Structure 1
Amino acid sequence: MPLQQADALDIQVLVDNVTDALSTTPVFVTREWALLQKRGMRRTTGGALCCANHGLSLVITAHGPAGPRTLLFDGGPVDYAIERNGTRLGIDFAAIEAAMLSHGHWDHAGGIPRALSMINACNGGRAIPLYLHPGMFQERGGRQPDGGVLPMDRVPLPAQWREYGADPRVTDQPVTCLDDLFWISGEIPRLTSYEKGLLGQVARAADDAPWQPDPLLMDERFLVVHVKDKGLVVFSACSHAGIVNVLHEARSRFPGTKLHAVMGGFHLSGGTETAIPDTIRDLGEFRPDLIIPAHCTGWRAVNALTQAFGESVVVPAAVGKLFSL
């Protein structure tokens, strides 16, 4: 599939697990408080600031030959985070022309309905494409120590997404969108031995069906933008497939193209912390200019990544940060 090069790329962190308005950042990152002051904040108060939530949402604008095109990458866990942070950061919801849900988990899907309503309110009610995988609509849960299952919130069905103001595009194949500036992957091949998915996850097709093991989350997909003179920027929201598997697939789809940056949740926290050493070893093979950890990466992995690659390469995300690449 053709992927058009973007002249520049802006990534606004709309929802993330952490807030960090104080740590110093490189020149290509604008911190939350600086953005809020540009938006008119004249007094620092709790009510003026963004909120952190367990989840991820990015507003990604690729500047192409025909002008800027904007895609919403996931929606975080809940409606109020989208509304609160989007309003304070001055997100131009009318400019968002497409959206994708990276995989079927509540902490990425829960805020999309509110985002769609804000988009529709600003664009005259026009439904926007929402890219979905057919495997993300089953009910999921986590197996508990006592053998029971703690269910997760379900991802709405395509008909429900239409009611929310989306034009659902359900496919397991790679697609491009918005002047071919964005490439959405298909299913991610599992190549490494140490990236085992989300152990303990189960799923069922109906309320009366038995729970079945579902560690691999084959509905997970990633996003790629090619920035002119820099290379590929790969977005992986949770990396249940493993961030190394994600990068292997990106390289196989765009052979010979340099990896400029990888951004998102790398899911190296909790039960997957044992994969940190192998992940760091194999990430080095791809020689990224930037590693931008977010969401579920975990503090141990962020620390290990920084020690391995240095602060000039590892630039953690946080709510409100704007990355201009």
Structure 2
Amino acid sequence: MCETSGTSAEALASTPRPAPGAAVDPIALEPVDEVVVTTLVDNVFDALLMDDSERIRRAGFKAGVADAAQFEGGSTTVGLRAEHGFSALVTVRRGDTTTRLLFDTGLSPDAMVVNAERLGVDPREVQAVVLSHGHFDHAGGLAGLAGKRSVSSLPLVLHPDAWSRRRLQIPGRETELPTISKKALLGEGFDVIERRRPSLLLGGSVLITGEVDRTTEFERGFPIHEAWDGSRWAPDPLIHDDQALVVHVRGQGLVVLTGCGHAGAVNIVRHAMRLTGIPRLHALIGGLHLGGILFEPIIPPTVAALTEFAPDLIVPGHCTGWVAQHALAAALPNAWVQGSSGTQYRLAAQPVPA
């Protein structure tokens, strides 16, 4: 099924675009002293994960309290919500300056803000929002965010294709996806910033990749994905609005966050390295879109390539799929960590020798 692309247009759209040599416009990504990634929404919440360490902090059963008349005292402790979506709070520290941005917002209007409240995260401290792409399971929580704080002039960074009307073309049961409304977001007060090219945020310490060069032979996109071009449904396998967030932790390497990784995890890491000139992958966190029969054939080359990068931490989440999770855990046992809503990953610079 993965090899059945159908038309010549689909085949052409799935052809990798070569990107030889160094980047034409290299990015001067400022190194940071620390980045903390807090997963606000993921497909899984496991309160029994007990691998807390200096680098990893887990949320447990007692993340919050809810009214419940069947218990003495009228309340019970609750954990966090999990759903088919992704959202992460990214906290970056350079010297004495700490800044925060939101990378994706989950599927439902309230899951991200409910989890944030239970984790003690104040939405008013977020200084920008970045959408990895326009799919509804990454943009649904924008409504909840707007309901919890004034978003007037809050930067919202996305690719212009994020507004596209899209569907999944499964013969006999085509499924149109919810489409983000630019008018609605502008009406809420978001400062919408559309960029196809790379962007630097937070004083040059956070890179948003923009469109990712497709350089592998096996990461061919989403073959059943289509977009409305104004007159008809056309193949849209590459989902060009897919972009990643990149931070350079001083002395450690790149930390790369993906929403779904539609551009391909290997393409994304290569692109980040090429843009920044930094050849070391310190951590990869987020969805890798390797779940299901369409993508299982590319798990082996993906795992092989990621193993060659030798990251110190890899947290595949959201749409990665259990087959890929097991393969990555086996190939990278010292780096792989099970993702879960509410988990905090602290990645710090190497100590300066005395």
TM-score normalised by L of structure 2: 0.83
**3-state SS of the aligned residue for 2:100?**
strand
Shift of 1:280: 0.8
Tell me the residue number matched to 1:324.
346
Pairing 1:6–2:32 present: yes
Aligned equivalent of 2:128, options 71, 77, 98: 98
Amino acid in the other structure paired with 1:114: G
Q: Aligned residues: percent identity?
A: 36
Shift of 1:257: 3.9
Aligned equivalent of 1:150, options 175, 178, 199: 175
Tell me the residue number matched to 1:165.
189
**3-state SS of the aligned residue for 2:110?**
helix
1:65–1:34: structure 2 CA closer, same or farther, 3 Å change rule?
farther
**Cα deviation digits, residues 206-237 of structure 1 (max 9, x gap):** 4xx21111111011111101112221100111
**3-state SS of the aligned residue for 2:127?**
strand
Q: What is the correspondence of 1:24-43 to structure 2 with a 5 Å cutoff?
A: 24-27=50-53, 28-33=55-60, 36=63
Q: How many residues get paired?
A: 311
Name the structure where helix makes up a greater proportion of residues.
1
1:8–1:114: structure 2 CA closer, same or farther, 3 Å change rule?
same
Pairing 1:289–2:312 present: yes
Pairing 1:65–2:89 present: no
1:139–1:47: structure 2 CA closer, same or farther, 3 Å change rule?
farther
1:205–1:305: structure 2 CA closer, same or farther, 3 Å change rule?
same
Q: What is the correspondence of 1:95-244 to structure 2 with a 5 Å cutoff?
A: 95-120=125-150, 126-146=152-172, 148-157=173-182, 159-206=183-230, 209-244=231-266
- Cα distance between partner residues in 2 of 1:13 and 1:284: 23
Aligned equivalent of 2:116, options 86, 109, 114: 86
Shift of 1:46: 6.5
Pairing 1:248–2:274 present: no
Give the greater-gyration-radius structure (CA): 2
**Cα deviation digits, residues 121-167 of structure 1 (max 9, x gap):** xxxx6421100111121210011232x5210000221x322222310
1:170–1:101: structure 2 CA closer, same or farther, 3 Å change rule?
same
- Cα distance between partner residues in 2 of 1:6 and 1:149: 45
Tell me the residue number matched to 1:306.
329
**3-state SS of the aligned residue for 1:189?**
coil
Unaligned runs of 5+ in 2: 1-26, 65-72, 348-354
**Cα deviation digits, residues 81-138 of structure 1 (max 9, x gap):** 1232121111121210001111110000111222233232xxxx64211001111212
- Cα distance between partner residues in 1 of 2:327 and 2:60: 28
Shift of 1:51: 0.9
- Cα distance between partner residues in 1 of 2:62 and 2:343: 8
Amino acid in the other structure paired with 1:80: D
- Cα distance between partner residues in 1 of 2:241 and 2:39: 23
Tell me the residue number matched to 2:67.
none
**3-state SS of the aligned residue for 2:240?**
coil
Unaligned runs of 5+ in 1: 38-42
Instruction: Check the 8 A contact 2:222/2:238 in 1, yes or no.
Output: yes
**3-state SS of the aligned residue for 1:32?**
coil
Amino acid in the other structure paired with 1:324: R
- Cα distance between partner residues in 2 of 1:250 and 1:7: 19
TM-score normalised by L of structure 1: 0.91
